[in-house]
Amino acid sequence: MNALLERELGALAEKLRASTVAVRLGRAGHGSGVIWSSDGAIVTNAHVASRERAQVVLSDGRSFEAKLAKRDAGRDLALLRIDATDLPAATVRDPSDLRAGELLVAVGHPLGVPNAISMGIAHAPLAGADFVQADLRLAPGNSGGPLADAQGRVVGINSMVAGGLALAVPAGAVQRFLGAAPAALGVALAAARLRDGRPALVVVGIEPGSRAARAGLRVGDVLPPVEPARLATLPSLEISRAGTPVTLAIPPPDEGARAA
């Protein structure tokens, strides 16, 4: 059992390390970053990418000069671009359904130690919070690196430590910062009201071959109160079918997609 667990943790660490980079600004500082797309988009913290140019070092040792493409100091996010293709991009999960106690993993380059990994748990649900909170250890150099779940899906970008907790910018906020529009679920919905008076949505149409169809949604399924705009980014959906609660896994936009 221990050997199996070690293999699984080793595979998780390698997956995350492959999409984690070092971001260097000479003697001015260093940090980490995440390969967000295979065409050279690197996401990191704004306080890491404090200059127009930086050096990005991949996990395989290759080094590239990066240009600052976008920066939001208020959200502590920055987008760097490097001239590279076919990079091992991270898999991303919307942390809105993250449960307290879930295993979380951080990867980065703390205090100059390359590809260091630390493990802990989600401290609290994301609802209403500006950051994903995790009870794990971060150090200078972890900033900009990934915070991921047990399946290696990035739920946030490590930003700071407060009250002994690691705080990460949620993956959904990163997507909005990048201007990435979530893929449509492929359903037509109508407003309804449950017997207890709560508002709900009823599925009145499903696009053939859509994510909704692949998930197994049916016309007549009832969705409990949920923001329609969030339907495209939810990894799973709780519905009521003939009065019986059903949980459906929502597939990504396509089989090779990385965003949840």
User: Where in the sequence numbering do the catalytic residues fall?
Assistant: 47, 76, 143
Return the C-alpha torsion angle 129, 49, 30, 26, nearest 10. -170
Annotate 199-259 with DSSP letters as a single string: EEEEEEEE-TTSHHHHHT--TT-EE-S--GGGTTT-SEEEEEETTEEEEEEPPPSSTT---
Distance CA 167, CA 158 (A): 6
User: Positive or negative CA dihedral for 231, 254, 179, 184?
Assistant: negative
Is the CB of residue 212 less than 8 Å from the CB of residue 201? no
Rg (Cα) of the chain, in Å, rounded?
Answer: 20
Nearest one of 59, 254, 214, 239 to 146, comparing CA atoms: 59
Pairwise CA distance, residues 106 & 124, whole Å: 16
